[in-house]
Every structure is written in structure tokens, then in C-alpha cells.
């Protein structure tokens, strides 16, 4: 167990954007479970295909009076102002984004709107709060640094070189946050994190996609030669890093977050196949690895990401707690156990649920 740090900031009304997505919902659960946060959380989410209120059913039930949901688009500046005033917002943790690289290649427009214009609106609304506002934490990605060769690690001073519309839009949002700190003195921090995995991840991303396809006996698509490398971090460790930065990080600083777990994509796919052969063998008894299919590479596919999180470790004492092997096993178990969640995602039932509850 990590030792508790004394919070430097006491946020009373924390606005979390994108809280119905993968990392946002894990973060809200993390804050409500422990970690010395006793204020209110106001979750602002547009509920795109990636936003699933089912991710927070337990939190909605267990924390009335502390957890609030507002269905809103961060591109709607007037609505943001209304929400900031209604809840007397004093801090923001900003997750909301279009997050999937492949989608940004097919249709970049919504990435520009949400990731850049949406972030701009939030910064303006936070700035308008003046002295009442304590902190804007911006959740960003290691993809802004571009691609590494065989050697080296991304550091906070690595030049930005985004290669996809997704990473370019995130880079733009990082620069806006930095500029609002430098020019207007808006209290802000930024984290740039590597690939997350764990419960509640939408099955368009590599790990949940492979788990669910393998269980369904479908092909396991591997882009190119499968030797691209990502640095994987269990989502709970990311939540802990964000909270560590929000409560003890220096204002105006950027912190890299990573898992010390560089792995080739093909190795991950094979590891998932081995776990499933053991705990959920295919009906035809064939090894799951026979489903692996190499397909056309992603355009502009970054070869290698690897993070130096030394600053976060040295200055704030954070390091990841979960090993990739145990984290992956936990993740596969979670997807096997969450039959209703998986079924609703696959059949789109949660989309009807949203229509019923929110009218659109
Ligand atoms: P996600 O796609 O699972 O969730 C995004 C959430 O944002 C959804 O709930 C969606 O409904 C909401 N949203 C989208 N557009 C919105 C809008 N215009 N207004 C309000 N809400 C909107 O994403 P995720 O994987 O949880 O990522 C969260 C954040 O973390 C993103 O900013 C992403 O860039 C960053 N990040 C992700 C990873 C990763 O591996 N997933 C790694 C590093 C950084
Ligand atoms: O590095 C952080 C980033 O990680 C986040 O900023 C993004 O929001 C998040 O989506 C993730 O981006 P990636 O593109 O790395 O994640 P994805 O799961 O899409 O792909 C992981 C690797 O697996 C990548 O090299 C592409 C490959 N891949 C992916 C899919 C979906 C495949 O080989 N086959 C697939 O079907």
C-alpha cells in the first residue's frame, strides 16, 4: 500500500470531464474509494460512443450528495459557465477527449472540436472564476512526443512531434493549458501518460479488443509486423499519479507518467491468448493464438513509446504498483466476469439506456 500524502489542496467541488469514459470513470471510483478526498465530484460528459454511464452505476447509487452528473458538451461554452456557477467549481480534472487514433485518421473533425476547442472553453471558464479557482489538471498523452527509435525515453523536455490527428489535437490542448498558466496565471498542471489498460476500457483499444474477439472466436488483428512498442500502465496507477500531481505537484509543471512496461504488441496478444487458453479454452479446443491475423499497418503508426517518469518519482514519490503480468491477468478476469457490461457494449444496449435516461 502506498503511504498517504497530506493534501496541499482541499478541493470542495471538483469538475471531472469525460468521467463516463475509461480512465475518467476509474478516477472517480478511485477518489470515492479512499485517498482523502471528501468534496463533491461533478462529472461533465457528452456521452459519445465512448461514454458509458453504466461505468458509474455503483458510484451514482452509493454517493448521492457527493457525486453529480451533467450531460454536456465541453464545446458548449455557455453550458460550462452555467455548470461552473451552479456547483461553485474550484478545480478541474480534464479527461474528456476523442481518444482513439484510428478514428482520428478516418474522421479528424471531432478531435479538433473536442480536444482543442473544448479544452479552450474549459480554460476560459476556469479563468473567469478568478481567485476562487484552485487547479486545472490536464490529462494528456505521451503520443505528443512522436515516435522513438530503439533507444531513448520520452522526458518532459522532449520536443513535441505529434504524428496523428489525435496526438496533434492533444499537443494543441497541452500548449493552450501551458499558455493559460504563463499568460494569465491560471493554476494548472499537465500529465503525459503512456498506454493505459484495465477495467471499463472500450473494446476498440488493443487489449479489450483482443480479449473480446478471442472469446468470440474472431480474428485478432495485429497491425503491420506487430513489433510496435507501447509502455503499458494499469489504469489505477494512472489515477493515483493524477491525484498525486493534483494534490502535491508544482503549479505550472508537466509530469510524465509511465508503467516501466515496454512490450511489443504481438507479445501482448500472445500473452492474452495464453491466459484465455488456461481459464476460458475455446470450444473447439484450438489455441487462441491461431486467431492472430496480421493486417495492413495503421498510417503514420508510431514505432515505439517509452516514458521516463523519473521526475514524478523523485519529486512526488510516485511509482507504478501493478506489474504488467498481474495487471493483464486482472483485466482478462474482469472482462470475463462483467458479462452484462460486455453484452451491453456489444449489442449497443447502453446506447438505448442513454436515450431512455437522457433523451438523446
Ligand atoms: P475514452 O474515449 O474512454 O473516454 C472519453 C470520454 O470523454 C467519454 O466518456 C466521452 O463521452 C467524453 N467526451 C468526448 N467528447 C466530449 C465532449 N465534447 N464533451 C464532453 N465529454 C466528451 O478516453 P480515455 O481512454 O478514458 O482517455 C481519457 C483521457 O486520457 C483523454 O484525454 C486521453 O487523451 C488521455 N489519455 C488516454 C490514455 C489511454 O491509454 N487511454 C493514455 C494517456 C492519456
Ligand atoms: O500512448 C497513449 C495513447 O494510448 C493514448 O493517448 C490513446 O488515447 C490510446 O488510445 C492509446 O493509443 P494507441 O494507438 O497506442 O492504442 P491502441 O489500443 O489503439 O493501439 C495499441 C497498439 O496496438 C498500437 O501500436 C496499434 C496496435 N493495434 C491496435 C488495434 C486497435 C493493433 O495492432 N491492432 C488493433 O486492432
pLDDT of amino acid 347: 86
pLDDT band at 34 (very low <50, low <70, confident <90, very high): confident
Span 231-280, pLDDT tens digits? 999 999 999 999 999 999 999 999 999 999 999 999 999 999 999 999 99
Contact 163, 300 (CB under 8 A): yes
C-alpha to C-alpha distance for 34 and 30, rounded to whole angstroms: 7
Residue 36 has pLDDT above 90, yes or no: no
Asked if 223 is an active-site residue, the reply is no
Q: How far is CA 186 from the centre of its chain?
A: 23
Contact 56, 82 (CB under 8 A): no
Distance 261 CA to ligand 1 centre (A): 22
Ligand 1 neighbours by CB, cut-off 6 Å: 17-18, 20-24, 45-48, 50-51, 73-75, 95-99, 114, 118, 139, 141, 170, 193, 195-196, 202
DSSP letter at 67 equals E
C-alpha to C-alpha distance for 130 and 246, rounded to whole angstroms: 19
DSSP string, 319-352: ---S-HHHHHHHHHHHHHH-HHHHHHHHHTHHHH
C-alpha to C-alpha distance for 237 and 55, rounded to whole angstroms: 18
pTM of the model: 0.97
Span 76-119, pLDDT tens digits? 999 999 999 999 999 999 999 999 999 999 999 999 999 999 99
Contact 316, 245 (CB under 8 A): yes
Span 62-76, pLDDT tens digits? 999 999 999 999 999
Beta-strand relationship, 135-141 and 188-193 = parallel
pLDDT of amino acid 223: 98
Span 273-309, pLDDT tens digits? 999 999 999 999 999 999 999 999 999 999 999 999 9
Distance 230 CA to ligand 2 centre (A): 8
Cell numbers that stand for 46 in this block: 457528452
Contact 23, 238 (CB under 8 A): yes
Sheet containing 262-264: which strands, arranged edge to edge? 195-197, 229-234, 262-264
Asked if 142 is an active-site residue, the reply is yes
Cell numbers that stand for 307 in this block: 516514458
Place of cell 511509482: 319
SS3 content of the chain, % helix, strand, coil (to 5): 45, 15, 35
pLDDT of amino acid 5: 39
pLDDT of amino acid 4: 37
Testing ligand 2's pocket by substitution, the residue of 223, 226, 272, 302 carrying the most ligand atoms inside 8 A of its CB is 223
Residue 357 has pLDDT above 80, yes or no: no
Ligand 2 atom nearest 204 alpha carbon: 31
Span 123-141, pLDDT tens digits? 999 999 999 999 999 999 9
Distance 166 CA to ligand 1 centre (A): 11
Domains and CATH numbers, the chain: 13-200+234-260+300-322 (3.40.50.720)
Residue 3 has pLDDT above 80, yes or no: no
pLDDT of amino acid 8: 54
pLDDT of amino acid 356: 74
- Nearest in space to 123 (alpha carbons), one of 109, 138, 111, 101: 138
Ligand 2 atom nearest 298 alpha carbon: 26
Place of cell 458479462: 339
pLDDT of amino acid 346: 85
Distance 161 CA to ligand 2 centre (A): 17
What is the SS3 assignment for 218?
coil
Asked if 143 is an active-site residue, the reply is yes
- Nearest in space to 249 (alpha carbons), one of 120, 135, 130, 90: 135
**Across 170-186, average pLDDT:** 98
Question: Which residues neighbour 258 within 8 Å (Cβ) at sequence distance 6 or greater?
Answer: 142, 193, 194, 231, 233, 306, 307, 308, 309, 320
- Residue 147 to residues 163, 301, 306, Cα–Cα distance (Å): 8, 9, 9
Residue 360 has pLDDT above 60, yes or no: no
Name the closest ligand to CA 213.
2
Q: Is the dihedral of CA 241, 247, 248, 254 positive or negative?
A: positive
Amino acid at each position: 500500500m502506498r503511504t498517504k500524502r497530506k493534501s496541499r489542496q482541499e478541493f470542495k467541488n471538483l469538475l471531472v470531464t469525460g468521467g463516463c469514459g475509461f480512465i475518467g470513470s476509474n478516477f472517480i471510483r478511485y477518489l470515492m474509494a479512499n485517498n482523502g478526498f471528501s468534496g463533491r465530484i461533478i462529472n461533465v460528459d457528452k456521452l459519445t460512443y465512448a461514454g458509458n454511464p453504466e461505468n458509474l452505476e455503483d458510484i451514482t447509487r452509493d454517493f448521492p450528495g457527493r457525486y453529480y452528473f451533467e450531460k454536456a458538451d465541453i464545446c458548449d461554452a455557455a453550458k460550462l459557465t452555467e455548470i461552473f456557477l451552479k456547483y461553485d467549481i474550484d478545480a478541474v480534472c480534464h479527461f474528456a477527449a476523442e481518444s482513439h487514433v484510428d478514428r482520428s485518421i478516418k474522421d479528424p473533425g471531432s478531435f479538433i472540436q473536442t480536444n482543442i476547442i473544448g479544452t479552450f472553453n474549459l480554460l476560459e471558464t476556469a479563468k473567469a472564476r478568478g481567485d476562487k479557482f484552485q487547479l486545472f489538471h490536464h490529462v494528456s498523452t505521451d503520443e505528443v512526443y512522436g515516435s522513438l527509435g530503439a533507444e531513448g525515453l520520452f522526458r518532459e523536455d522532449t520536443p513535441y512531434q505529434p504524428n496523428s490527428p489525435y496526438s496533434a489535437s492533444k499537443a494543441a490542448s497541452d500548449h493552450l493549458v501551458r499558455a493559460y498558466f504563463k499568460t494569465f496565471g491560471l493554476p494548472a498542471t499537465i500529465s503525459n501518460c503512456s498506454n493505459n489498460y484495465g477495467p471499463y476500457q472500450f473494446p476498440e483499444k488493443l487489449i479489450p479488443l483482443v480479449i473480446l474477439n478471442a472469446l468470440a472466436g474472431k480474428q485478432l488483428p495485429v497491425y503491420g509486423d506487430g513489433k510496435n512498442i507501447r509502455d503499458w500502465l494499469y489504469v489505477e496507477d494512472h489515477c493515483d499519479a493524477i491525484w498525486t500531481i493534483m494534490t502535491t505537484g508544482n503549479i505550472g509543471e508537466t509530469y510524465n507518467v509511465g508503467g516501466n512496461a515496454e512490450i511489443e504488441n504481438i507479445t501482448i496478444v500472445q500473452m492474452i491468448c495464453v491466459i484465455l487458453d488456461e481459464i476460458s479454452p475455446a470450444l473447439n479446443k484450438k489455441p487462441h493464438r491461431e486467431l492472430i491475423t496480421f493486417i495492413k499497418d495503421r498510417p503514420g503508426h508510431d514505432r515505439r513509446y517509452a516514458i521516463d517518469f523519473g521526475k514524478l518519482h523523485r519529486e512526488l514519490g510516485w511509482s507504478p504498483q501493478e506489474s504488467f503480468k498481474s495487471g493483464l491477468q486482472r483485466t482478462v478476469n474482469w472482462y470475463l466476469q462483467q458479462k452484462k457490461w460486455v453484452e451491453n457494449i456489444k449489442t449497443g444496449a447502453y446506447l438505448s439506456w442513454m436515450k431512455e435516461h437522457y433523451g438523446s
